Chain A
């Protein structure tokens, strides 16, 4: 694991706070902050796992930390062979964490028990500990310090095994070779030590400032021809304070080459470095370098020999705040650490403040050269004590969420216009015609209003207001009309309103029905009236189904409780009202008589309309009896057309009404469900 650096005061000390991911599957992230506290976070759910304050945290702040290699749980079994019990999934446990302090002591902290395990002091360092490395096999611990010494500790006895002078200046970094027999140390120069004899094996020179990180990048030599002695041919990486280059070195059998083999260039001083070890020759080394300027640089490179030009990163990751409002610019969020997950395809990013960092798993894609993640960490400061105990997360439920209730468009599939089949062109043409008719409507409006003024002085204002309101979509005007409770007034208004306003009125009513339940109560009266009075007109409309689809769904969902009963009720009401209406109309002149003269359509067109209606009727998904009645209706309509033709000649009002009412009786069957809402 890569290690961060320590104190802040010293200009030559590395940037960043000491932090590290736990080995194996990065379950935990340990961070020693400047206030001397150690915090361990769970990476999977971004939860503070534990907090520990060393007793001497003010005098000796933590300068470096390292996780002990995972150990398997002690499983002493005297009767191992007999046992068939099944082991629990994860048996290896991450436990000890070594902390180096500014006063030279080393603390071993047990994260499982949550307490200090032991303290390594006697015979150790006299000055700030710069780096700690665990030996992967034998439980030894290596530390280096500003006092120029390297110490080998025996953690079992907590005593110094060996202490030797590592450099003429302070030793800043350590790394143990993959085979565990060599040790790299960096002071003024990088030295490779043989651990058994503590003798220098190789020297490397190249960095001008103290080396802050050392890492072996490969475990196998690039060429497999010569016998592998454990270290020759391996590459390692070094990064230094204030240095924007990371150097790669190769341990060679002959001792002549001392310079770096190649280098990676980054934008600022590296704060945290992690890499995936390449296990074989073909597999590239993946390198993630967190820089001081809050950028993560990712490199992917197969290490094979020299490369003079410094390599630039394959991918850069930045994390920024969303920026409140339009004016403020997004600010970069500092990144504390980045570690590769075990699948090598995703990266764990730790960002935000060290007090409350956010840990996120980011999937890496090789394509993008630059990733900018917008993250809102403003609410991270909210106390999380409650969630720490209950482990409950509450997803956000705000008013911005869309709510779909039965009847609202979107809840059910929208009823689309009948699928255009062979006569696509024709239908298009018809649409065009419809559009033109808007002008006609405007024209008709004037005529109608005039007429109404003349003929019907008592309710003159209401139909006019209504039509005007619908045309202009004036909310107040509509309110004035629609919020009346007088049933008779409603009836008369509906009866006298122009036909072209029926569909807009129905749409307006639908909208209001979806709204507040109180207003819906009033709207139902209107709806009932409109449907009973203008059923005949509606049944003639070719595109009725798509236009009133939502209304149909709305009513369908509202009458669901006693569906059959309300069906029957609706039908009966319709019959009764039609019968009474026809009886009444016998003695009355119809105000819309003249409008009927507008019929100029050719019969062929009418037929096509019917066909469309038939098709669209199928979409209604209704009972069989409805379909039957539709057929009847079709027949009726044809009759009606003929009759209408004759109408024009005859101009006999009384007869005309009769026929019309008859037609309404039959033709309404497809609107039955709509009428059923009336009882609500």
Chain B
């Protein structure tokens, strides 16, 4: 079933959604956001992803609706192209090749056929706003090289450019430049205070233009918002200040009508300034994370905020959040590494500050954030927060151990370990034991004994204070309640070295703890030191036991780039190799171990069995960046790759996280196979359901539609006829230089296009004329003129068609017929 393709690295969801402002469709039904190399189309009602627009080969840096066709979307990318999409069907319409690296995209209604982009010309940090003329052509790929510079030396962020009523405003550092399209001039306004005071953080951060009036709003680093007016005069310009934010204003947006201004920043509060006055403020607080971008739907009924924790909140006009589009949270550092929750099979890692996020890989969406720290998070720069540093699941997901720490100074370490039990009755985690300062220094490793036969759950913590502690679950019942709680069972150390890693063997009988360069093996029954291994090859960075048939091996990777494999039976080094291992992960379903090494060019993957020093599979350069974490995720349904190189992917899938926090995995399916539908697309036509509104308006509209349809149908009938007319083919197929002049051809050609008379309609008209001839004499001339007009307007198609083709006798009759009185028609 699966074609044997080469294994490729594929990005697996969770790319950055908050890189640029999200864009609403004209009817507010859809919201567009950039996501890595793609543009995602989400439904604002259901948060679901409706389409993924893919085609760019590099990061998408800007999206805008086509101002001339609101069913189309422009996108620009670092790959130097602007693409035009039909977002309703998810189809790429056109590609414009610009050539430069495009940093942002703007469209303006008044500019007919050009868009504005930010490009980087020459030096590193000098950016230009240029307008690009998009040539009209029917071909798919068009070169658009006609660039004209609008503003020079601007900030690269699209937040620092705004288009208004025939003006374009750009901010950078301490000045605001305004370009007037009509005058083609630029004025520049510099903030004076910036020169005098050293710490006046007057830097401009963002800019927005009023949609109707001549007003520009700018945000500043010190939290002020300035509203600039009269800026077409270099001397008489004025500005007013709005100040609520205590920290940098991250983004500004005017509502569609311009009556209110929205601002947001690190406080994660959306502020709505009504009528641009300081008194009339509305707030939407507790949005969870720093507001990065604000955008407003063209219909005016929705806002949305993009947040630093990779989410987009859709907000109603009355400041009520209605939907959240949440990607993999990327705000904080990943300390916990990647884990798999045995219960939900979800990927677990650091999420929002103080939370663990559960991310479903199958559905590529976040399940939930588990609030571990349970303290209000204060969004402020420079605050030292409690961080969730370690987490581990034990006993088939029945236990969760978490470690949180906060360190303000060298000596003031706050540590807390929490042990959560999964309560089946309520289907949630319940805190069982809280340990303050489990160790005197940072905890470096945390692991549960996950052996099947172990009776008492066991947890081991290793710390920099030179000890490792063994915690076991014991009975904590008293006369009031029956309970279990964790207590420390054993404290071990080895010559005051820092304990750096710990891990249990598969059957739980041995515990390996590494103390800097030395690996110690302890019997888990008696906690006796069994033996030590020392390779003198640098501190141990990773440690893991082999599994299944390879359970007699212990692997250790050191910081000096040596990978060692010890045989536990002979207590000797089995093999060692030079490999700078960054990530080493055992596969829970097989003997395989994946190691990712870091070299100057990129990261390489090695999959091997501990019993053989030769790797099963090598993939060079899986990522340009450093790979920080990896994990094997068991597959629900095993794959069946027959080729030996890919057998390691049969039962588990390897996911890894790079330094820039993109989650990647391996896939063998070719891109084509992924793209072409395996089953036929189910495309059901949308048919309008009947609503009460429809009953009122519908009938009226139905009649109109019918009329149009009739006309349309008749056209459709005519179309095949035109193809058969010899005059057309003659005209089209004769070379132009042979043809006589157009004036000669014209009448003949037009005549040939006319329909030959239809007998039925002719008869009808004739009958009519017969009956109405009788009244002919009674009528005045004035009325005749009037009726003629009616006739003309009513039967233009029919009349004209017929007029030219009637024979002479008929023409005579028609002349008579023109004098006939039709006044009775008006009476009808």
Q: Which residue of B lies closest to A115 (CB)?
A: B45
A395 at the interface (CB under 8 A from B): yes
A-B contact pairs, 27 of them (CB 8 A): A27-B362, A44-B344, A45-B368, A49-B46, A77-B92, A80-B672, A83-B54, A87-B671, A88-B364, A89-B665, A112-B49, A113-B50, A118-B685, A118-B687, A119-B689, A136-B679, A391-B368, A393-B368, A393-B428, A396-B430, A397-B431, A398-B430, A401-B431, A402-B486, A410-B486, A413-B490, A557-B437
CB–CB B682/A139 < 8 A: yes
- Supposing A111-B48, A113-B29, A560-B440 touch, asked if A410 and B485 sit within 8 A by C-beta, the answer is yes
The 9 closest A-B CB pairs, nearest first, are A410-B487, A114-B45, A114-B46, A395-B429, A72-B677, A402-B485, A118-B687, A155-B684, A45-B367
Q: Contacts of A93 on B, CB cut-off 8 Å?
A: 49
A476 at the interface (CB under 8 A from B): no
- Supposing A85-B55, A404-B433 touch, asked if A112 and B46 sit within 8 A by C-beta, the answer is yes
| Residue with the greatest number of chain A CB neighbours at <10 A, chosen from B38, B46, B89, B346 | B46
CB–CB A389/B431 < 8 A: no
A520 at the interface (CB under 8 A from B): no
CB–CB B685/A158 < 8 A: yes
Among A57-65, A307-315, A368-376, A597-605, the stretch in contact with B? A368-376
CB–CB A400/B55 < 8 A: no
CB–CB A74/B89 < 8 A: yes
| B700: min CB distance to chain A, Å | 20
Q: Which residue of A lies closest to B95 (CB)?
A: A79
A465 at the interface (CB under 8 A from B): no
Question: A395 vs B715: C-alpha distance in the bound complex, in angstroms?
Answer: 68
CB–CB A361/B344 < 8 A: yes
Question: A392 vs B352: C-alpha distance in the bound complex, in angstroms?
Answer: 9
B819 at the interface (CB under 8 A from A): no
Q: Contacts of B686 on A, CB cut-off 8 Å?
A: 117-118
A343 at the interface (CB under 8 A from B): yes
Q: Contacts of B487 on A, CB cut-off 8 Å?
A: 404, 409-411, 414
Q: Which residue of A lies closest to B361 (CB)?
A: A89
Interface majority SS (helix, strand, loop, mixed), chain A = loop
A194 at the interface (CB under 8 A from B): no
User: Per-position contact with B for A380-419: 1 when CB-CB < 8 Å, else 0?
Assistant: 0000000101111111111011111110011111100000
Question: A413 vs B435: C-alpha distance in the bound complex, in angstroms?
Answer: 13
CB–CB A398/B361 < 8 A: no
Question: A42 vs B362: C-alpha distance in the bound complex, in angstroms?
Answer: 13
User: Per-position contact with A for B673-715: 1 when CB-CB < 8 Å, else 0?
Assistant: 0111111111111111111000000000000000000000000
- Supposing A87-B54, A115-B45, A395-B371 touch, asked if A96 and B682 sit within 8 A by C-beta, the answer is yes
- Supposing A74-B90, A360-B427 touch, asked if A91 and B674 sit within 8 A by C-beta, the answer is yes
| Residue with the greatest number of chain A CB neighbours at <10 A, chosen from B91, B671, B689 | B689
Question: A322 vs B490: C-alpha distance in the bound complex, in angstroms?
Answer: 37
CB–CB A44/B367 < 8 A: yes
Which residues from 411 to 433 on chain B have a C-beta closer than 8 Å to any C-beta of chain A?
420, 423-433
CB–CB A389/B485 < 8 A: no
Q: How many residues of A are in contact with the other chain, CB < 8 A?
A: 92
Q: Contacts of B425 on A, CB cut-off 8 Å?
A: 322, 374-376
Q: Contacts of A402 on B, CB cut-off 8 Å?
A: 432-434, 476, 483, 485-486
B21 at the interface (CB under 8 A from A): no
CB–CB A71/B679 < 8 A: yes
Question: A42 vs B358: C-alpha distance in the bound complex, in angstroms?
Answer: 14
Which residues from 59 to 84 on chain B have a C-beta closer than 8 Å to any C-beta of chain A?
none
A76 at the interface (CB under 8 A from B): yes
Q: Contacts of B313 on A, CB cut-off 8 Å?
A: 389
Q: Which residue of B lies closest to A121 (CB)?
A: B690
Which among A74, A108, A404 is the interface contact of B435 at CB below 8 angstroms?
A: A404
Question: A472 vs B770: C-alpha distance in the bound complex, in angstroms?
Answer: 133
Which residues from 94 to 153 on chain A have a C-beta closer than 8 Å to any C-beta of chain B?
95-96, 107-108, 111-119, 136-139
Q: Contacts of B11 on A, CB cut-off 8 Å?
A: 86, 88
Q: Which residue of B lies closest to A68 (CB)?
A: B682
CB–CB B363/A401 < 8 A: no
Q: Contacts of B301 on A, CB cut-off 8 Å?
A: none
A69 at the interface (CB under 8 A from B): yes
Q: Which residue of A lies closest to B432 (CB)?
A: A401
Q: Which residue of B lies closest to A27 (CB)?
A: B363
CB–CB A83/B671 < 8 A: yes
Q: Contacts of A68 on B, CB cut-off 8 Å?
A: 682
Which among A72, A113, A360, A374 is the interface contact of B43 at CB below 8 angstroms?
A: A113
CB–CB B682/A88 < 8 A: no
Which among A27, A89, A155, A343 is the interface contact of B636 at CB below 8 angstroms?
A: A343
CB–CB B52/A138 < 8 A: no
Give the size category of B's interface with A.
35 or more
Question: A49 vs B45: C-alpha distance in the bound complex, in angstroms?
Answer: 10
CB–CB B431/A395 < 8 A: yes
A223 at the interface (CB under 8 A from B): no
CB–CB B367/A85 < 8 A: no
Which among A84, A114, A391 is the interface contact of B326 at CB below 8 angstroms?
A: A391
| Residue with the greatest number of chain B CB neighbours at <10 A, chosen from A55, A84, A155, A392 | A392
User: Per-position contact with A for B640-669: 1 when CB-CB < 8 Å, else 0?
Assistant: 000000000000000000000000010000
CB–CB A85/B54 < 8 A: yes
Which among A87, A107, A360, A391 is the interface contact of B674 at CB below 8 angstroms?
A: A87
Q: Which residue of A lies closest to B367 (CB)?
A: A45
CB–CB B51/A400 < 8 A: no
Q: Contacts of A409 on B, CB cut-off 8 Å?
A: 487
B721 at the interface (CB under 8 A from A): no
User: Per-position contact with A for B448-491: 1 when CB-CB < 8 Å, else 0?
Assistant: 00000000000000000000011000001000010101111111
CB–CB B685/A156 < 8 A: yes
- Supposing A73-B90, A117-B686, A118-B689 touch, asked if A404 and B343 sit within 8 A by C-beta, the answer is no
- Supposing A71-B682, A85-B55, A113-B50 touch, asked if A393 and B369 sit within 8 A by C-beta, the answer is yes
A358 at the interface (CB under 8 A from B): yes
Question: A404 vs B486: C-alpha distance in the bound complex, in angstroms?
Answer: 9
CB–CB A90/B437 < 8 A: no
Question: A376 vs B12: C-alpha distance in the bound complex, in angstroms?
Answer: 36
Q: Which residue of A lies closest to B13 (CB)?
A: A89
Which residues from 339 to 386 on chain A have a C-beta closer than 8 Å to any C-beta of chain B?
341-343, 358, 360-361, 373-376, 379
CB–CB A76/B90 < 8 A: yes
CB–CB B424/A374 < 8 A: yes
| A593: min CB distance to chain B, Å | 43
| Residue with the greatest number of chain B CB neighbours at <10 A, chosen from A27, A84, A114 | A114
User: Per-position contact with A for B281-298: 1 when CB-CB < 8 Å, else 0?
Assistant: 000000010000000000
Q: Contacts of A49 on B, CB cut-off 8 Å?
A: 46
CB–CB A89/B12 < 8 A: yes
Q: Contacts of B52 on A, CB cut-off 8 Å?
A: 73, 88, 91
Which among A46, A375, A387 is the interface contact of B424 at CB below 8 angstroms?
A: A375
CB–CB A74/B685 < 8 A: no
Sample of 19 more A-B contacts, CB < 8 Å, known A90-B363, A402-B483, A560-B440 = A25-B363, A76-B92, A84-B671, A85-B56, A88-B12, A90-B362, A91-B52, A93-B49, A111-B46, A112-B48, A112-B49, A113-B45, A114-B48, A136-B679, A156-B683, A393-B371, A395-B420, A400-B483, A403-B434
B806 at the interface (CB under 8 A from A): no
B360 at the interface (CB under 8 A from A): yes
B370 at the interface (CB under 8 A from A): yes
Question: A74 vs B675: C-alpha distance in the bound complex, in angstroms?
Answer: 9
CB–CB A410/B56 < 8 A: no
| B423: min CB distance to chain A, Å | 7
Q: Contacts of B674 on A, CB cut-off 8 Å?
A: 87, 91
Q: Contacts of A115 on B, CB cut-off 8 Å?
A: 45
Q: Contacts of B45 on A, CB cut-off 8 Å?
A: 50, 113-115
Which residues from 459 to 507 on chain A have a C-beta closer than 8 Å to any C-beta of chain B?
none
| B629: min CB distance to chain A, Å | 18
CB–CB A403/B371 < 8 A: no
CB–CB B682/A375 < 8 A: no
Q: Contacts of A71 on B, CB cut-off 8 Å?
A: 677, 679, 681-682
- Supposing A118-B686, A343-B637 touch, asked if A411 and B488 sit within 8 A by C-beta, the answer is yes
Q: Which residue of A lies closest to B311 (CB)?
A: A391
